[in-house]
Amino acid sequence: MSMQSTEQVELGEIKVTDQKATVMVIPNIGTGVAVVIYDMQNKVGGIAHVVLPESSLSNAHNEQMPGKYANLAVPLLLDKYTGMGGQKRTTIVRMVGGAQLFNFGGGGGNILNIGTRNATAIRAAMSKQGYAIEKADTGGNKGKAIRFVLATGQLYVRQIGGGEYLI
């Protein structure tokens, strides 16, 4: 029996692996979005933990965090993924997060609604590369935790304070 190895994916980080014993976790996703990509046939998988929709929102180009911005993270994630043998035709893409944790009033048109903008930017960036988001669990006003099991491709989501479910 092989030991599972758990790897945490930090804010702005991109991780891709073909090690089947790996379980990737993010204990708290708020307004950020985790993009989870998985090749069901070749068992290659990865996560980008996106923080902001656009690199233009920041004047500090922090090269240590390539996964921070949706517009940069998605192409990087896909490069690493295909480089490790991920094939587009057997790929499933899911995303989790994008909560609206701060309500400053003024209804849904809030310019600070980073969560929704992250999800929209990720969809656009994926679409540009020819990938669709098959399943999404985004929005709401509570953070979520995820657990991504490489051996099976199962993605477990838990709303903070709630039970775990699969998407």
In terms of pTM, does the model score above 0.85? yes
In the chain, where are the structural domains located? 5-166
What is the residue whose two structure tokens read 């940069």? Answer: 72
Name the least confident of 28-32, 112-116, 140-144, 163-167.
112-116
Which residue in the block uniquely carries the two structure tokens 């996964």?
67
State the architecture of 5-166 in CATH terms.
Answer: 2-Layer Sandwich (3.30)
Q: Are 16 and 45 in contact (CB under 8 A)?
A: yes
CA distance 36 to 135: 10
Report which secondary-structure segment, H or E, holds 128.
Answer: helix 114-128
pLDDT tens sequence across 16-64? 999 999 999 999 999 999 999 999 999 999 999 999 998 876 655 555 6
Residue 125 pLDDT class (50, 70, 90 cuts): very high
